[in-house]
Structure 1
Amino acid sequence: MLNDRRSHGLWEATAPQAPVTTTLGGSLSADVVVVGGGYTGMSCALHLAEAGRRVVLLEGREIGFGGAGRNVGLINAGLWLMPDDMITTLGPVHGERLLGLLGDGPSLVMELIDRHGIDCELQRNGTLHCAVGPEGLKEIKEREAQWQRRAAPVQALDALETERLLGTSAYAGALLDRRAGTLQPLAYARGLAHACVRAGVTIHTSSPVVETSKKGDRWVVRSADGTVDAEWVVVATDAYGTGPWQSTRAEQVHLPYFNLATQPLSADLLRTILPEHQGAWDTRTILSSFRLDRSGRLVFGSVGALRNSGTSIHKAWARRALARLYPQLRDVAFEHEWYGQIGMTSDALPRFHTFDRNVVGFSGYNGRGISPGTVFGRELALLILGEKSVADLPLPRTEVQEPWFRHSREIYYEAGAQAAHLASDRF
């Protein structure tokens, strides 16, 4: 994207085209201006437009430019945190509310895909959280217990059943979450954009917001070449935020994550690797993730940035690690490579902010953007429509706070991933 082959890789090569858009020019008026063309912004815009509101969506680059177009494509339920930890941090009201909404998040994503006919390689076969050793097995069994207390369809599998579903004996077990699935993330983002346009949303790309001002009881949002005035402003820029709301980026520590995609695998190989096409990731701190796309490519990823010395280090590690998991892929070439940034908050929980009167947004998805972004976009629409109040939302209102030593921690995470991958999986 934007002539950078390492920004979106396989996803840009295989996604349907985005709707034709233009740069904002002149002056427009709307009920709501949404800033950000990722899952949150487009879900919000779509739900508002379907309810009859006039919506203008402004994207600084292209649809799905940020995390929405770069991630692995796992439609997960919940967050990285254990369910009980969410209750401890947020309290019983917001904690249980958030668990319920995000537990049902994959069903909302799949319902939107079905209703709008979005071609995004949807797989509904669940995901596998793979246990590394005894500690990993203990973790997934605790997750199973906590989710099952909430009647979620999750199941901890033993090593033999895990091997059957993965095609490798590398793991001590896995947590199968039947609510979840996989998709082509950029195709989903572009599909939401097409649905928005059909619903009446006006989308302008290459239109970064540079300034906002009040005009009576309305807001004027300004880009380089135009303005939009509206009663409400939705800030949906998250970890890639710039301009007036770059604080949403500043409150998150960037954690780089890369993906490599093999050439399409033969039918014989595909019978031995993820035969039911679940998406998978493991319990390591510096985790690995792997899944298949529609054409039979294996997408393999981990923490790290494909730039400077990291490019050769991470690619060499991926070759070694993949050969350990699947020796039959030792000589299979990688066709695509890309990376992006995960925005991590101090407590691994998203944030709800009210930046001013009628200026609202969610951010801080901590590597779980597809379902939460879609759900939070709908929640913002319900707030604007008057169907929910701030007190009804899944997160309490918080002030923006930049974490201590953010820049140093980002440097440390990138360098630490290189050091770990330089040393690991050597035979």
Structure 2
Amino acid sequence: MKEQCLWHVTSPEPCLDLPALEGRQSADVIVVGAGITGLSTALHLAEAGTTATLIESGEIPSGGSGLNVGLVNAGLWIPPQDICDALGEKDGERANAILGAAPGEVFDLIERHDIACQATRTGTLHLAHNTKGEQELARRVVQFQQRDAPVELLEDEACWKKVGTRRIRRALLDRRAGTLNPAAYTRGLARAAYAAGANLFTRSPALGVSREGESWRVTTPQGSVLAPRIVLATNAYTEDDWNQVRHHFFPGCFFQVASTPLSDELAGDILPEGQGAWDTRMVLSSMRRDSEGRLILGSLGSGEGRPSAYLRCWADRIQRHYFPQLGRVDWECTWTGKIAFTPDHTLRLFEPAPGILAATGFNGRGITTGTVVGKGFARYLTRKDESQLPLPIRRCKPIQAKPLWSSAYEGGFTLYHAGQCLRVLI
């Protein structure tokens, strides 16, 4: 089993051949980070006629934007009323409305820029793994339907036909959502931003930011850019001491394991309409198939450095529980990406200093959240209008005891997966 990201290998969108930043340059806006948030920001700025220079430390994509499950989900991780309880009624319903419509924004961009990312628009499935999970899904359905969202609770035969397993009796189908190849979507955004006139530079890590009069200078190993505004779109991959984003999330991981392609004769009844799915376990399992028929399983926690036998054991356990009809499955590759978590499971949009915008804490909803945040940032920077952002830009207190949060999460995930491998848990 190879350690490589399937999405990078199978992306129909090629990796752009972009230069490193050299010399002293200037722009209207500097964007740091070429994930979905940064690229969406640069694309929408360029389309508005604003000079945007984007710098990325690696290639595109090199972070979580190309390593995630590829679910184009609506909303945040927590249900709508919980969002209102965390953020207040006004801000909560604003976030529900904008992020509920976010899959449409993603699919519109894909169509408008002809992004080849193997997108499907048949929804996603949230699977109840036990009675408590069924009750949670029923609670979510009521809250979504109160807001006129096109979701429904599938039961028994209708559920089994959509998922392909009789281990699940109830599932929430969200018709707003879908799936895609995240690396291809990210590369497609880069191509669109470049074509619109954004200046994109790779292999150009930001070494620091300094104030020069009314502007900011961002320095890289071979050059620098001067601009009055900066967007920090580094999210879960923020590590530098100068970058204040690092104080506003705690990092977690999500690993995935992909099978070799499975024939329709063998696996055609598993997620036959192309939906991606995840279950209601305390440490969830995700499952989907790609355009070539592979079964892709994932879960919270890091797979980096784990023995192949450990990851194969976990994948076998989940596959045999949900899809025993497959028999023995050959696992082809595995990879791990990072997630930026927050204690209240909601995102943060803030200004760490005058003229600098930042976003983090997407809590595993980066494809849709990053897309609409980037569009909203561009609108705010060009028109001083923040109405398209899921939340107002506001002051945020740094997260306390970050290492404890990360250690608790990763330790809990590891113990849970060990229990699954030992057949103590499933």
TM-score when normalising by structure 1: 0.95
Assess if the C-alpha contact under 8 Å between 2:152 and 2:172 holds in 1.
yes
**Distance in 2 between residues matched to 1:116 and 1:341, nearest whole Å:** 27
Q: Provide the residue aligned with 1:104 in structure 2.
A: 101
**Distance in 1 between residues matched to 2:65 and 2:202, nearest whole Å:** 15
Q: Give the drift of 1:243.
A: 2.7
Q: Give the drift of 1:343.
A: 1.4
Asked if 1:410 corresponds to 2:414, the answer is no
Assess if the C-alpha contact under 8 Å between 2:64 and 2:339 holds in 1.
yes
Q: Give the drift of 1:311.
A: 4.8
Q: Give the drift of 1:423.
A: 2.0
Q: Provide the residue aligned with 2:415 in structure 1.
A: 419
| SS across alignment from 1:21 | coil
1:317-349 CA deviation, whole Å, 9 max, x = no partner? 111110111113231201111012211101100
1:366-397 CA deviation, whole Å, 9 max, x = no partner? 11100000000011001001150489762451
Q: Equivalent pairs: percent with the same residue?
A: 41
RMSD over aligned Cα atoms: 1.8
Assess if the C-alpha contact under 8 Å between 1:140 and 1:174 holds in 2.
yes
Q: Which residue type is aligned with residue 59 of structure 2?
A: E
Q: Which residue type is aligned with residue 130 of structure 2?
A: G
Q: Provide the residue aligned with 2:309 in structure 1.
A: 312
Task: Give unpaired runs (5+ residues) of structure 1.
Answer: none
| SS across alignment from 2:74 | coil
Q: Provide the residue aligned with 1:399 in structure 2.
A: 396
**Distance in 2 between residues matched to 1:231 and 1:263, nearest whole Å:** 49
Count of residue pairs the alignment pairs up: 421
Q: Which residue type is aligned with residue 68 of structure 2?
A: N
Asked if 1:220 corresponds to 2:217, the answer is yes
Task: Specify which of 344, 356, 359 is matched with residue 359 of structure 1.
Answer: 356
Task: Specify which of 79, 84, 87 is matched with residue 81 of structure 2.
Answer: 84
Q: Provide the residue aligned with 2:331 in structure 1.
A: 334
Q: Provide the residue aligned with 1:209 in structure 2.
A: 206
| Segment drifting more, 18-27 vs 115-124 | 18-27
Q: In the TM superposition, what are the counterparts of 1:281-320 in structure 2 within 5 Å?
A: 281-309=278-306, 311-320=308-317
Q: Which residue type is aligned with residue 369 of structure 1?
A: G
| SS across alignment from 1:385 | helix
Q: Provide the residue aligned with 2:227 in structure 1.
A: 230
| SS across alignment from 2:134 | helix
Assess if the C-alpha contact under 8 Å between 1:353 and 1:400 holds in 2.
no
| SS across alignment from 1:328 | helix
Task: Specify which of 41, 44, 47 is matched with residue 44 of structure 1.
Answer: 41
| Segment drifting more, 388-397 vs 286-295 | 388-397
| Segment drifting more, 409-418 vs 196-205 | 409-418
**Distance in 2 between residues matched to 1:212 and 1:396, nearest whole Å:** 21
Assess if the C-alpha contact under 8 Å between 2:372 and 2:389 holds in 1.
no
Q: Which residue type is aligned with residue 7 of structure 2?
A: W
**Distance in 2 between residues matched to 1:244 and 1:34, nearest whole Å:** 18
Q: Provide the residue aligned with 2:66 in structure 1.
A: 69
1:74-131 CA deviation, whole Å, 9 max, x = no partner? 0000011110111122112211111110000000000000000000010000000001
Q: Give the drift of 1:419.
A: 2.1
**Distance in 1 between residues matched to 2:307 and 2:359, nearest whole Å:** 31
Asked if 1:385 corresponds to 2:382, the answer is yes
**Distance in 1 between residues matched to 2:284 and 2:182, nearest whole Å:** 20
Q: Provide the residue aligned with 1:53 in structure 2.
A: 50
Asked if 1:25 corresponds to 2:22, the answer is yes
Assess if the C-alpha contact under 8 Å between 1:235 and 1:359 holds in 2.
yes
Q: Provide the residue aligned with 1:13 in structure 2.
A: 9
Assess if the C-alpha contact under 8 Å between 2:120 and 2:179 holds in 1.
yes
Q: Which residue type is aligned with residue 421 of structure 1?
A: H
**Distance in 2 between residues matched to 1:409 and 1:330, nearest whole Å:** 38
**Distance in 2 between residues matched to 1:283 and 1:300, nearest whole Å:** 15
Task: Give unpaired runs (5+ residues) of structure 2.
Answer: none
Q: Which residue type is aligned with residue 351 of structure 2?
A: T
Assess if the C-alpha contact under 8 Å between 1:128 and 1:279 holds in 2.
yes
Asked if 1:120 corresponds to 2:117, the answer is yes
**Distance in 1 between residues matched to 2:302 and 2:188, nearest whole Å:** 28
